[in-house]
Structure 1
Amino acid sequence: MRLILNVIWLVLSGFWLAVGYVITGVICCLLIVTIPWGLAAFRIANYALWPFGRTVVDRPDAGAPSLLGNVIWVVVAGIWLAIGHVVTGALLCVTVIGIPLGVANFKMVPVSLMPLGKEIVPAP
């Protein structure tokens, strides 16, 4: 079932969301100072391509620097990526088949807003 959901996800929304994260990651890496945000954007792009079967957990060693970095991320790029997830999720929820995909989009909003201090792991 995960394979089917991931393939449908990739076709309907995953590819375009991943492209948004990759563009954000490239811009962040070009600016040198923002490389940590760029690496986080690339991790989430990978997750946005194939989300079913994986989950996001908090890293236990994340502290105040991650929180400060997340605040900067929200202002610079996170809000736009979160809006992309909300709009895509709402459009997918219009159809019955798209409802699980829309819910998955809504579940990705928190990680799109605060990617630092998170880790993507296989789902139990």
Structure 2
Amino acid sequence: MPPVSLLLNLLWIFCGGLWMAAAWMIAAIIMAITIVGLPWARAAFNIAAYTLLPFGSRAVRRDLVTGQPDIGTGPLGLIGNLIWLVLAGWWLALGHLITAILLAVTIVGIPFAWAHIKLAGIALWPIGKVIVPA
């Protein structure tokens, strides 16, 4: 990890990263407990790690990385994302948006607010995403 990404990730942890990563972990654990929610739990665990250290990596559609469609990027992924949106996506996105608004009040927090806005979009539609180095 480049030094700039390392510094930004350390500052990120104090600017809402730790709080929102914990929220993602709670969502993942709740989904994993329900056995039926295991596909969502896997996605939530991946995004929780990304939420904790987002600088130096990015989230992209899995079919763009592999070059072929799979279950998470097809019709079942669409259905899975709609279920996720109703069960957990909206409140995770809301948490990211509230954190972004609080950070945007300060000039120093604007880059971190922008990162929270991007994560709010991922919170609404996480199935079929993979984290890759930037």
With structure 1 as the length reference, what TM-score do the two structures score?
0.96
Indicate which of 108, 126, 132 corresponds to 1:97: 108
More deviation, 4-13/71-80 = 4-13
Match among 40, 44, 55 for residue 41 of structure 1: 44
Which residues of structure 2 form unaligned runs of 5+? 64-68
Which amino acid in 2 is paired with 1:14?
G
Question: Which one-letter code corresponds to 1:30 in the other structure?
Answer: I
1:54-93 residue pairs with structure 2 within 5 A? 54-60=57-63, 61=69, 62-93=73-104
Q: Percent identity?
A: 46
For 1:71, the aligned partner's letter is L
Displacement, 1:90? 0.7
Cα shift at 1:110: 1.5
Task: List per-residue Cα deviations over 1:17-44 (Å, max 9, x = no partner).
Answer: 0110101101100000010101111111
Aligned residues: 123
Counterpart Cα distance in 2 of 1:69 and 1:110: 16
Other-structure match for 2:56: 53
Consecutive aligned runs of 4 or more in structure 1 exceeding 2 Å deviation: none
Normalization by structure 2: what TM-score?
0.89
User: Offset of 1:59 from its aligned partner?
Assistant: 1.4
CA deviation after TM superposition for structure 1 residue 4, in Å: 1.6
1:117 aligns with 2:128: yes
- Residue in structure 2 matched with residue 29 of structure 1 by the alignment: 32
